Amino acid sequence: MMKGLLPADTYIVINKTILNDYDRKLLITLYQPIIGYQAISFYFTLWSYLDKSELLSCEWTHHHIMTNMGISLSEVEEARSKLEAIGLLKTFLKEEHVNTYLYELYSPLSAKEFLGNPILATSLYTTIGKLEFEKTVDYFKIPKLNLASYTEITTSFNSVFKAGSNININIENVRDKNKLGMNIIPKYELQVVLEMIPDELLNKRSITKDTKDLIMKLSFIYDFTEDMLVEIIRNSISEKHTIDKEALRKNSRKFYQFDHYGKLPGLVYRTQPEYLRKPIGDHSLRAQAIYFFETTSPFDFLSSKYKDVAPSKGDLAILEYLLIDFNLNPGVVNVLIDYVLKINNNKLLKAFIEPIASQWKKSRIETVEDAMRIAEVEHKKRKGRAEKQGSKRMVSKPSWFKENLSSGEASKEEQAEIEELLKEYKEVA
């Protein structure tokens, strides 16, 4: 709730985290292009007012910070709002004759967290452009060293120290790195939407957090209004007066297609985000396969696997399931689909895909390269299980597996398969 700020209003700064010089680099390099130098300067100024222990500041007036920074009161409010919205600051107000504000400082996200956030990364990309964005990503990358000729000789803890007696320590208020994340407010309150549905029709107590999350995801993806969402939920209620999540997904899809003349939402037509793509420069066969997965939408990829035949409604439902429920990136979905089709006799079955997608989600697979690597690991496990069971059936694998492409031992059939996979890429190139 915005209150009219006056120069005489006082404020105290409280540090809710641990701040260091690396945080300054993160703020200037990643945050400043999005929220502007004035908001970052406001953050640094509040930081400078902390005591020697960097815990708490003295009480100051807003006139002091206006004079210190050389900005107007409206600019102070604008800078504060930007910091709040992007998750660097929390503000509390105590209304008295002279109002008092508490400003809580929070750490910026790490480079990996920031660049892994689609909204923040896209905002940065849009602001600074492709070339500068790629330079920024490279700046925060850890150099890759070839340790093949090295042997780890790190000493373990128990080889140096002896175990002592166990003691109980209260660490409840010990300082730690605290991050807020972005402050995003939905277009409408889900509780208000649910209250529009009579209690005799829907048991509100049966609605779990997962169901609420799914409702909000679907409403965001399909851009439903409150009235639309109420109708969809009503049509998705089971005989037990609970929300059937599968029916909710189907009804959302049908409602959207009816309202958009049979078209599907743009989600299945999106490609891998730019910031999660492999840098261009490598022209190996594997790199070409990666590029293809990254620059092809799941819809077009599945169409190409079916020889340009449009995917069925069931197939599209699986794509949406992977993109919405598991929140997998488009390029990762392409790798998953290609892998499953190969190891499951060209059949796309939800029951077969679900445990693999769940594992990839838990492993936080975001890039095409990571998806390929985890697929290769899974294939080795599958092959090992087959050998233990004495199965004579060959365990199929996609043509892009590292062991084939890197060693140059790919068979003619595998070479032909990957050539077919890259046909669309070559036409574009």
Domains of the chain: 1-142+179-185 (1.10.10), 190-263 (no CATH), 274-428 (no CATH)
**pLDDT(40) > 80:** yes
pLDDT per residue as tens digits for the range 20-31: 999 999 999 999
CA-to-CA distance for 98 and 112, rounded, in angstroms? 42
Q: What is the pLDDT of residue 415?
A: 58
Residue 338 or residue 161, greater confidence: 338
Confidence band of 427 (pLDDT split at 50, 70, 90): very low
Collapsed DSSP state (helix, strand, coil) of residue 423: helix
Q: What is the pLDDT of residue 280?
A: 66
**pLDDT(335) > 50:** yes
CA-to-CA distance for 312 and 301, rounded, in angstroms? 13
**pLDDT(409) > 60:** no
Q: What is the pLDDT of residue 47?
A: 94
CA-to-CA distance for 126 and 274, rounded, in angstroms? 11
Check if the beta carbon of residue 87 is closer than 8 Å to that of residue 182.
yes
| Residue 428: how many other CB atoms lie within 10 Å | 10
**pLDDT(44) > 80:** yes
Residue 104 or residue 210, greater confidence: 104
**pLDDT(1) > 50:** no
Q: What is the pLDDT of residue 429?
A: 36
Q: What is the pLDDT of residue 81?
A: 92
Q: What is the pLDDT of residue 428?
A: 36
**pLDDT(426) > 90:** no
Q: What is the pLDDT of residue 164?
A: 64
pLDDT per residue as tens digits for the range 184-212: 556 678 888 888 998 888 998 899 888 88
**pLDDT(282) > 70:** no
| Angle between helix 368-388 and 330-343 (nearest 10) | 20
Q: What is the pLDDT of residue 53?
A: 81
CA 314 to chain centre: 26
**pLDDT(43) > 90:** yes
pLDDT per residue as tens digits for the range 355-371: 999 999 888 898 999 99
Residue 277's contacts (CB-CB under 8 Å, 6 or more residues apart) are 294, 331, 367, 368
For range 380-391, the mean pLDDT: 73
Confidence band of 127 (pLDDT split at 50, 70, 90): confident
CA-to-CA distance for 211 and 208, rounded, in angstroms? 5
CA-to-CA distance for 249 and 253, rounded, in angstroms? 6
Confidence band of 166 (pLDDT split at 50, 70, 90): low
**pLDDT(54) > 90:** no
**pLDDT(8) > 90:** yes
Residue 243's contacts (CB-CB under 8 Å, 6 or more residues apart) are 202, 206, 207, 211, 215, 233, 236, 237
**In the Cβ-directed half-sphere of 214, how many Cα atoms lie within 13 Å?**
23
- Is pTM beyond 0.85 here? no
Closest to 73 in 3D by CA, of 21, 81, 246: 81
Q: What is the pLDDT of residue 38?
A: 94
Q: What is the pLDDT of residue 102?
A: 96
Amino acid making up residue 35:
I
pLDDT per residue as tens digits for the range 214-257: 887 777 667 778 888 888 899 999 989 999 988 888 888 777 76
**pLDDT(396) > 60:** yes
Closest to 36 in 3D by CA, of 130, 124, 119, 118: 124
| Angle between helix 62-69 and 37-48 (nearest 10) | 120
